[in-house]
Structure 1
Amino acid sequence: MFLRVVAFVAALLASSGLCCGNSTTNGTFSNPILKSGGADPWVISHDNYYYMTYTTNDNITLLRSRVLTDWNNAEQKLLFKPPPGLNYSTDMWAPELHQLDGKWYVIYTADPRNDSPPPEIDMWCDYNCPAVNHRMFVLEGSDSNPWTSVYSYKAELDTYDQFAIDGTYFQHEGSLYHIYSCWFRKYDAWPANLCISKLSNPWTVASPFSERQVISVPTYPWEKTPYGRPFNDRLSSNEAPQQLNNPTTGQKFVVYSAARSDNRNYCLALLELVGDPMNPSDWRKHPEPVFYQNPQEKAYGVGHASFVKSPNEKEDWIVYHGMVDPTNGWGARTIRAQAFTWNQDGTPSFPRPGYGPYAVPGGQST
């Protein structure tokens, strides 16, 4: 009875928006999983550890934990802090850690001047475009261990001297691709779309600009902000793409974020690959968002996800950010986790976002 009362009180606090930090006890946990807040989480598992990176703006920090659902006591390591004045010194967003060809790479977004272009540049944009100078960059680790590796700057990942954020690696039939949020032209500002280019290695783009493809454009009302506005390219976004493979059927998906990232309507959407990644017609967009706000639990602005297995490898988990109070914008975001399953047609079946308490991942010791 006592445990049922505790669980009821925790759920009540979560649904009221008063839940302020993670607790992992008696086989359950509550969101968020990191008390200090954060956004754009990337989580990967390797050799019985989970590793997390997220946006810290002026550096790239790596966290390590044996527990997926509580990062408050995780080990931390500064991976990279660039000197000032470089093209990649400020507004370092959405870093991701990938193991490719036996080495570790970090792909991330940055710009040279705190997201503030001079008026001579900004005046070329159809809308205000503070992110016009954001580009993608790659760090390379020194060895096969993600924690002990020394990470050094490798290269700018070519995006044809155009806006690029939230880049990720996509792997298909032995080939490597770069999928990222892009504009049609250098000074468009909006909408933000999803682009793909082919890579010859983790830091070198093989596709010329003529072969870069736009695979998704915000066309549905829920991909735009405010929701349903009839003329609304400004702040309409497709961003934060992530590869997700169905482990049973082999289907390959890109889960991406849509709408505006500091808004209650931020959500997750789904593309399915049915052929060649470089052929836009071979990507099928789901007509509705697959993970979206839950006002009953004050879970708003849910997006920018990554995916990982439970310690026993039997469960699939989504790690994402969201807000309790959507009026406070980007600073209100915190990192959360929940289990998900799969539909009969092979697409992911995500739960409604919330705070818990939820059962801890299978095989997790605490």
Structure 2
Amino acid sequence: MQLFNLLVVVVVASAQNINNGGSSNFTNVGTNSTTNTTYSNPIMTLNVGDPWMTRYQSNGEGWYLFTYSTNDNVTLKRSQSLTDDWDHAEERVVFNPDPDSGLPYATDLWAPEIHNISGTWYIIFSATPDHDAPPPLQDAMCPFECPAVNHRMFVLQGDGPDPWTSNFTMKGMLNTFDQFAIDGTYFQYNDQLYHIYSCWENTYSAWPANLCITQLSDPWTVVSNLTDRRMISVPNEPWEQVPYGRAGRLATNEGPEQLVNPTTGQNFVLYSAARVNTPFYCIGMLELVGNDPMQYQSWKKHTDGCVFHQNTQAGVYGTGHASYTTSPDGSEEYIVYHALTTPNPPCKDLS
């Protein structure tokens, strides 16, 4: 497999001190304001997960657009510099549901992504109506505790060409067959659109978390039925499991993102493996080796281990849920990911 080099790494870090769990004192964040030629990681120190960044043009100006899990709403940030201090970048809340409404997207909004598809901006995210506290009898249906059993995928649609000034309204819920779904993304191949997301094998299986794919007729309409849905990756490698090599509970594939080699045209899905609130959270890789993404035989997993993982010497752990963008001139590829500053994070699920 040939994967083009990601030349520069950008960190979105969880601001947790290694010693006491308090806020870390980052002396330099983002671009060096004195020289504007270098930057310091992290570029954002807020305790957030699931960063998503893309680039767009508006009125002849180039902008980076950034979103992440706030848990309560969908917030966009923007800057003309990729390596800005994103703690203080301009921001705008574009979707803010009432948490007491009981609507299926009312609480625990996770992993929003913003995509331009055929000239229209869409935001895809997961949410649940119940603060991840399902009724006890529903939770009892699962072999393990399953607070996220009611998480589903939703789509917002913008009403204009500029995402920063667009109004976003609820377009609908993506059909995941009334089963657990988080971390959904769009995958485009041969003029066809697909939905890849983290799924369970059935409604109450709880673990492991796998990667499923369905076909779309538009960004909010699934045309596959349940028997057409395919699991294209299951966490069957020991490095995808927590503890190492223990199959079943805490074995995870999530956070899928499409990555295309601009030179060879190869299509990859980079995904998060292991468990988000452990230092072992890392990035695995699938390559599309067939001509039909809806067939699991078309996908080949890189089985030698994580392709991106913790650096204990640098004090960076739990490197996962990445997105990918370029420098303004398109000559460099960047990875934007979240990480932890401690190998023993508190028990908080950021996925």
Structure 2 equivalent of residue 176 of structure 1: 193
Structure 2 equivalent of residue 56 of structure 1: 70
Structure 2: which 5+ residue stretches go unaligned? 1-16, 19-23
Is 1:24 the counterpart of 2:52? The answer is: no
- SS for the counterpart of 2:297 is helix
Aligned partners of 2:25 and 2:329: how far apart in 1? 28
1:240 to 255, 260, 271: 255
More helix by share: 1
Is 1:45 the counterpart of 2:55? The answer is: yes
Describe the superposition over 1:41-65 as per-residue Cα deviations: whole angstroms up to 9, x where unpaired: 0000001000000000010000010
Structure 1 equivalent of residue 299 of structure 2: 283
Is 1:154 the counterpart of 2:205? The answer is: no
Structure 2 equivalent of residue 274 of structure 1: 289
2:157 to 114, 137, 140: 140
Aligned partners of 1:243 and 1:256: how far apart in 2? 9
Aligned partners of 2:283 and 2:170: how far apart in 1? 31
Describe the superposition over 1:206-263 as per-residue Cα deviations: whole angstroms up to 9, x where unpaired: 001110000000011000001133xx31010000000000010000000000000000
Structure 2 matches for 1:1-366, cutoff 5 A? 20=26, 22-25=29-32, 26=35, 27-47=37-57, 48-70=62-84, 71-83=86-98, 84-229=101-246, 232-275=247-290, 276-287=292-303, 288-329=305-346
Q: Normalization by structure 2: what TM-score? A: 0.87
Structure 1 equivalent of residue 13 of structure 2: none
What is the count of residue pairs matched by the alignment? Answer: 316
Aligned partners of 1:78 and 1:239: how far apart in 2? 25
Structure 1: which 5+ residue stretches go unaligned? 1-15, 334-366
How far residue 77 of structure 1 moved from its aligned partner, in angstroms, is 0.6
Aligned partners of 2:137 and 2:323: how far apart in 1? 37
Aligned partners of 1:220 and 1:53: how far apart in 2? 30
Aligned partners of 2:324 and 2:30: how far apart in 1? 21
Percent identity for Structure 1 against Structure 2: 53
Structure 1 contact 261–330 (Cα < 8 Å) conserved: no
Describe the superposition over 1:288-308 as per-residue Cα deviations: whole angstroms up to 9, x where unpaired: 210011111111000000000
| Residues 171 and 312 of structure 1, relative CA distance in 2, 3 Å threshold | same
Aligned partners of 1:23 and 1:151: how far apart in 2? 29
| Residues 224 and 98 of structure 1, relative CA distance in 2, 3 Å threshold | same
Aligned partners of 1:98 and 1:170: how far apart in 2? 11
Structure 1 contact 326–332 (Cα < 8 Å) conserved: no
Q: Return the letter of the residue paired with 2:200.
A: W
How far residue 36 of structure 1 moved from its aligned partner, in angstroms, is 2.1
Q: Normalization by structure 1: what TM-score? A: 0.84
Aligned partners of 2:127 and 2:46: how far apart in 1? 22
RMSD of the TM alignment (CA)? 1.5
Q: Return the letter of the residue paired with 1:260.
A: R
Aligned partners of 2:288 and 2:130: how far apart in 1? 37
Aligned partners of 2:347 and 2:221: how far apart in 1? 32
More displaced stretch, 27-36 vs 51-60: 27-36
Structure 1 contact 323–332 (Cα < 8 Å) conserved: no
| Residues 149 and 325 of structure 1, relative CA distance in 2, 3 Å threshold | same
How far residue 34 of structure 1 moved from its aligned partner, in angstroms, is 1.2
Describe the superposition over 1:312-356 as per-residue Cα deviations: whole angstroms up to 9, x where unpaired: 2100000000001132246698xxxxxxxxxxxxxxxxxxxxxxx
Aligned partners of 1:157 and 1:206: how far apart in 2? 10
Structure 1 contact 178–196 (Cα < 8 Å) conserved: yes
Structure 2 contact 30–44 (Cα < 8 Å) conserved: no
How far residue 19 of structure 1 moved from its aligned partner, in angstroms, is 5.9
Structure 1 contact 325–332 (Cα < 8 Å) conserved: no
Q: Return the letter of the residue paired with 1:205.
A: V
Q: Return the letter of the residue paired with 1:286.
A: H
